Structure 1
Amino acid sequence: MLQFIKSLSRDERGVSALEYAVLAGIIVVAVVGVGTVFSPNLQAIFTNLTTKVTNAAG
Structure 2
Amino acid sequence: MLHVYATLQTLGFRIKNRIQRDETGATAVEYGIMVGVIAVAIIATLMLLGPQLNALFVEVNTQLKGIGTTPTTP
When normalised by structure 2's length, the TM-score is 0.52
Deviation at 1:51, TM superposition (A): 4.9
Q: Tell me the TM-score normalised to structure 1 length.
A: 0.61
Provide the rounded CA distance (Å) in 2 between the counterparts of 1:55 and 1:14: 57
1:10 maps to 20
1:17 counterpart letter in structure 2: A
Q: Highest CA radius of gyration, 1 or 2? A: 2
**Which of 28, 34, 45 is 1:34 aligned to?**
45
- Structure 1, unaligned stretches of length 5 or more? none
Matched position secondary structure for 2:55: helix
The 1:5–1:47 alpha-carbon spacing in structure 2 relative to 1, beyond 3 Å, is: farther
RMSD: 2.5
The number of aligned residues is 57
Q: What's 1:43 paired with?
A: 54
Of the structure 1 ranges 5-14 and 33-42, higher mean CA displacement relative to structure 2 is found in 5-14
Unaligned runs of 5+ in 2: 1-10, 69-74
